[in-house]
Chain A
Amino acid sequence: MYKTYKECTLSNKQLKRINQLKKESLDVEQEVCVQRARYLTEAYQEHTDEPLIKRRAYAFKNILDNIDLFIEPGQLLAGNHAASLRAASIFPEYCVNWIFEEIDQLDKRPGDRFQVSPDTRKELLEIAGWWKGKTLEDRCQATLPASVKDAYQASVLSANGNMTSGDGHIMLDFEKILHYGAQGIIDEAKDNLDALDLTVPGNHYKRIFYESVIITYEGMIDYAKRYVALAKELAAQATASEEKANYLHIADVCSHVPQYPARTFAEGVQCVWFAHLLSQIESNGHSMSFGRLDQYLYPYYKNDIETEKCTQEKATELLACLWIKAFGVVKIRPWSHTRFSGGDPTYQNLTLGGITPEGDDAVNDLTMICLDSVSLTRLTQPNVSARFNEKNPQSYLEKCVEVIRLGFGMPAMHGDHVMIPSLINRGVAPADANNYAIVGCIEPIIPGKFGYRSAGMSFTNFAKVLEITLNGGTDPRTGITLLKQDKDFASMTSTEELRKYYDAQMAYVVKTRVIGEHCIDYAIEELVPDAFCSGLIQDCLKRGKNAKEGGSVYDMVTGPETGITNVANSIAAIKKIVFEEKKLTPAELLNVLHTNFEGETGENIRRMLLNKAPKFGNDDDYVDKISSSVYLSFMKEQDRYPTTRIGRGPIGCLSYPCTATISGNVPSGLPVGASPDGRKSGEPLSEGCSPYHGTDKLGPTAVLNSIAKMPNHLITGGNLLNIRLAPSVMVSHDGIKKVMGLIQAFFAMDGWHVQFNVTSTETLLDAKKNPENYKDLVVRVAGYSALFNDLEEKTKDDIIARTEHEL
């Protein structure tokens, strides 16, 4: 419970600073920055003789030593992802093929557009030329078996993100760098290095790992020193006394952190930002998350308040500056990947509330200040997740709902009630499970103890698997056969028979998925090991192993899966209309799907499938049970396969389900033909475990009841639910209380996650028509929030089509 927190208003000067910084970030025309690629490639070429991890460490340091630095006027924090504001760095070691194909299209994309200057274009093409054939993607393409490529081609699986962007999805041990500083990590690595007996086989690799860690943290220290020099220089040039003081403050803070342990809240925030930023310069993966910032920075805040070094207002302002910094990290991705994650999200998650590792209420003053500060910035980053535990005070939940009411999709609410036991069930120690935080969209992990890519592995397209099953094992769009069946749906005689074929097909897909993931995992391990990141993951330094070779305490990875609801609705429609009521024969159904419900008869049948069979999300056991059983049969298969780190140290080495589809439900629907739930060919699939658009007719309680019937305890990777609410619902205090009631009841019945879009349909339609008036309209996409204008038109339509629940 919090102690000194009270509702406060920032001074006009503070608000002006925040608004100014926010405006500059939003107004900037995004461009491609070549500097990271340049300095990385330079070092790779210089250190050809070194083992890869060390070569990468030199490359990392070379980037930090040379990239152009700047400090935004008015910013209280130093450190940028690229050489200019909100520019996108290039990570050529992951993939370059897309650069050749897309460089001239980047400013013309339907969403996530970037400008490329002629000089940048020229240099980038040269760099990409050197990398051709040497990248992670090239290695994956060279090693993937044909059966896996077929599955990707047929769209039952998609693993583009892993191959082109690496892993990410990591939460550093921020407590450690706050306590010991970069110097402490260097010292630890040196001590371990000194203690190594190099006559023992294998210690050779440990030595190289420690040396690499030392290089990267020296790079970090030097990077901060460059900022000290720059800030001093800018202070000398500054005319206004306040401006001068501001730069000198930055110089002062950066001369101490990150090298040494943080002493104040301001140093703590700067230290966290440096570590978080640098992990995103080192590797290309997204979803590097802040974790429980309200916990690890609280001691510094508390001490500063007690010694009057800081005020609540100042802390709010500083955190707002941090979120604007986080918004400045921009990812450019190949279009194949961008389609699955519209709005260039970086999924830098911030987790608030919940309980402490000891099991006590964790809500403190800083929790509330974090909520206040994100209300001020209302940007897409950080992706705010609020844990809810029955031990948390009502005023905290009320504050969360008040922020939700602002309509930028945050915070997403997470239920401790199911998450903690679910993690324990997977082998996480109870105190660690109590300490979980969200990475990326909705996936719970243990801060500083989960290694590798904890989430966002291959997408599995359930709807495509069903389509292939109905067609005898062959994808009608590509002609590719996965698991050949002896019959197609036309000759099947019962729902049970269909399920038998479907489950077999799914088992094949899961197996293929695992084979593909192993190929990619080994390529990532070999080609893009991260020494810096591993320095802040327990127990990499202890074991002398980086996170990708099994250095972490836990190793548990997850999906996501798309279209579960479409499959459940489809099987329910087949069961009821074809086999129970016999209104259609199997052959007739198959035919009408092939013709995409063509003509009046087709449309009539489509409406029958849509309207005359139960749909998930209406609290109807008939279909809700099918949904659970379809997901359980997938889980049973998934449980059989360990990850490539098995036997190398971490606890777990397993994968579990997750329904965080990001915006993947839209492109995942494109290659899927008409489905028996009445969905037309190419239309989006359902999102997460949310009901299919417009088919939830009974309001949010029925939706929540349906979802609560899923095997939530087993969906350890997170079960994503989006509910859109009309803003009118929360006008009054009474309305806020009712939304609180909705959340509490949902979590009491083992709900996993719920996020709300509080924007009226009228607003969205108008924003689609007049994008210039809605530059800062943030909407919840699925597991994250994006600028509405950054989304492609189809995703915009999809968001508009979500059933709006008028409360």
Chain B
Amino acid sequence: MNNSIKGIISEIERYAVKDGPGIRTVVFFKGCPLKCIWCANPETQKNTHQLMYWPTRCIGCKKCIQICPQKALSWNTTGIMINRSNCISCNVCTNTCNSQALTMSGELKNVEEVLDTIKKDNSFYQVSGGGVTFSGGEATYQKDFLIQLAQRCKDEGISTCIETCGYASQEVYQDLLPYIDYFFYDLKLINEKKHTKYTGVSNKLILSNFCYLQDAGADVTVRIPIIPGINNTESNINDSIHFLLEHAPGCHVSLLPYHRLGASKYGKLDMHYSLEELAPPSDEEMQSLKDLFVKHGFYVTIGE
């Protein structure tokens, strides 16, 4: 196997308990074809290294400014400013910063390095029925790396799970099928125009891949993030129900309430968060949505 291939990984999270069965390790792949405006992991959208700045950790020693070979850092009254067009992600500043106020999102790793970390919790997977979950970003965005990693996990007897937006060529899913035990598949919006508006891409490929996986007999859980005012409209919910009734009747539907835990990361990346004022859906609303899906014969969970 070609082990020189590297993936760019933003984080590997151990003891995840809401990303598939049992105790799992989640590998966050960096890079995503979609740009959902509610994205909770904005640092995983780009497929490159990105410098992040954590103002609350900064003690203002300014060592990073002096040491940056690209002169990409400067000080304004509130803290460090990053000139991102100058930054070449050389990590000189992050190595210097003792406070971890500057961190680099994204690390190049080969398959065996990632596998070694995954294997560390093997004994926990065994007793709890857990394993690894590939997430992101979008794991299929780094398809060659993903397929090799998934294959190696299966070699080691580790259960595999993927959280995917569905936006990749059908061949990718075809290649993945033998190595993935569970698919968590996002259905964000059924209306193509709206899908394009809020995520940046058409949903044609997504819906057709969904049908492909169903036909191929994959174990698929549908995930619908509930974003108030965007996809919780009566028409989108009805469209979703109709689509699923036709292609995956009785399937497991996981409703994920919109949350704001990723909002603070936008500033650290100098990105703009457009949903600053949006409140998460109420428990009552989530429950009534659940009831609606249950009424149509689906198995429904909220938040997991």
| Stretch from A294-302, A484-492, A744-752 forming part of the interface with B | A744-752
B304 within 8 A of A: yes
Picked from A604, A701, A807, the residue with its CB within 8 Å of the CB of B98 is A604
Complex: how many Å from CA A577 to CA B193?
A: 56
B290 within 8 A of A: no
* Total contacting residues, chain A, CB less than 8 A: 32
Is A741 touching B23 in the complex (CB atoms < 8 A)? Answer: yes
Interface 0/1 of A639-664, CB less than 8 Å to B: 00000000000000000000000000
Between-chain CB contacts (< 8 Å), 18 pairs: A604-B63, A604-B99, A607-B100, A608-B98, A611-B98, A701-B15, A702-B15, A737-B128, A740-B128, A741-B22, A741-B124, A741-B129, A741-B130, A742-B15, A744-B127, A744-B128, A748-B127, A805-B15
Interface 0/1 of B220-261, CB less than 8 Å to A: 000000000000000000000000000000000000000000
Chain A residues 714-755 with CB under 8 Å of chain B are 729, 732, 734-735, 737-738, 740-742, 744-745, 748-749
Chain A residues 592-623 with CB under 8 Å of chain B are 600, 603-605, 607-608, 610-612, 619
With A729-B17, A742-B23, A807-B15 known as contacts, the answer to whether A701 contacts B124 (CB < 8 A) is yes
B123 within 8 A of A: yes
Is A699 touching B14 in the complex (CB atoms < 8 A)? Answer: yes
Picked from B22, B61, B99, B129, the residue with its CB within 8 Å of the CB of A611 is B99
Interface 0/1 of A786-805, CB less than 8 Å to B: 00000000000000000001
Is A742 touching B128 in the complex (CB atoms < 8 A)? Answer: yes
Complex: how many Å from CA A608 to CA B99?
A: 7
Q: Which residues of B contact A745 (CB under 8 A)?
A: 23, 123-124, 126-128
Is B15 touching A700 in the complex (CB atoms < 8 A)? Answer: yes
Picked from B99, B100, B126, B304, the residue with its CB within 8 Å of the CB of A734 is B304
Q: How many A-B residue pairs have CB under 8 A?
A: 73
Q: Which residues of B contact A198 (CB under 8 A)?
A: none
Is A600 touching B15 in the complex (CB atoms < 8 A)? Answer: no
Complex: how many Å from CA A702 to CA B123?
A: 12
Is B17 touching A600 in the complex (CB atoms < 8 A)? Answer: no
Q: Which residues of A contact B304 (CB under 8 A)?
A: 732, 734
Picked from A604, A737, A740, A749, the residue with its CB within 8 Å of the CB of B123 is A749
Please name 17 further chain A to chain B contacts, defined as beta carbons within 8 Å, in addition to the given A700-B15, A705-B121, sorted by A numbering: A604-B99, A607-B59, A611-B99, A611-B100, A701-B14, A732-B304, A735-B17, A738-B23, A741-B23, A741-B124, A741-B128, A742-B124, A744-B127, A745-B126, A745-B128, A749-B123, A805-B15
Chain B: minimal CB distance from A437 (Å): 26
Nearest residue (CB) in A for B123 is: A745
Q: Which residues of B contact A10 (CB under 8 A)?
A: none
Nearest residue (CB) in B for A737 is: B128
B120 within 8 A of A: yes
Nearest residue (CB) in A for B121 is: A701
Q: Which of B23, B98, B99 has the most CB of A within 10 A?
A: B98
Q: Which residues of A contact B100 (CB under 8 A)?
A: 607, 611
Q: Which residues of A contact B126 (CB under 8 A)?
A: 745
Per CB-CB distance, the 7 closest pairs between chain A and chain B, nearest first, are A741-B128, A699-B15, A608-B98, A607-B98, A745-B124, A744-B127, A701-B15
With A699-B14, A701-B14, A737-B128 known as contacts, the answer to whether A607 contacts B123 (CB < 8 A) is no
Q: Which residues of B contact A611 (CB under 8 A)?
A: 98-100
A698 within 8 A of B: yes
Chain B residues 130-160 with CB under 8 Å of chain A are 130
Is A603 touching B59 in the complex (CB atoms < 8 A)? Answer: yes
Q: Which residues of A contact B124 (CB under 8 A)?
A: 701, 704, 741-742, 745
Complex: how many Å from CA A744 to CA B100?
A: 35
B residues adjacent to A (C-beta < 8 A): 13-15, 17, 22-23, 59, 61, 63, 98-100, 120-121, 123-124, 126-130, 304
Nearest residue (CB) in A for B15 is: A699
Is B23 touching A600 in the complex (CB atoms < 8 A)? Answer: no
Complex: how many Å from CA A735 to CA B98?
A: 37
Q: Which residues of B contact A605 (CB under 8 A)?
A: 98
Complex: how many Å from CA A737 to CA B59?
A: 43
Q: Which residues of B contact A734 (CB under 8 A)?
A: 304
Complex: how many Å from CA A704 to CA B14?
A: 12
With A611-B98, A701-B15, A807-B15 known as contacts, the answer to whether A738 contacts B123 (CB < 8 A) is no
With A701-B14, A742-B23 known as contacts, the answer to whether A748 contacts B123 (CB < 8 A) is yes
Chain A residues 543-600 with CB under 8 Å of chain B are 600
Is B59 touching A741 in the complex (CB atoms < 8 A)? Answer: no
Picked from A608, A699, A741, the residue with its CB within 8 Å of the CB of B127 is A741
Chain B: minimal CB distance from A623 (Å): 15
Chain A: minimal CB distance from B125 (Å): 8
Complex: how many Å from CA A555 to CA B144?
A: 63
Q: Which residues of B contact A699 (CB under 8 A)?
A: 13-15
Q: Which of B15, B99, B129, B130 has the most CB of A within 10 A?
A: B15
Chain B: minimal CB distance from A514 (Å): 38
Q: Which residues of B contact A702 (CB under 8 A)?
A: 14-15, 120
Chain B: minimal CB distance from A133 (Å): 56
Is A705 touching B98 in the complex (CB atoms < 8 A)? Answer: no
Picked from A604, A732, A740, A744, the residue with its CB within 8 Å of the CB of B59 is A604
Q: Which residues of B contact A610 (CB under 8 A)?
A: 98
Complex: how many Å from CA A664 to CA B220?
A: 51
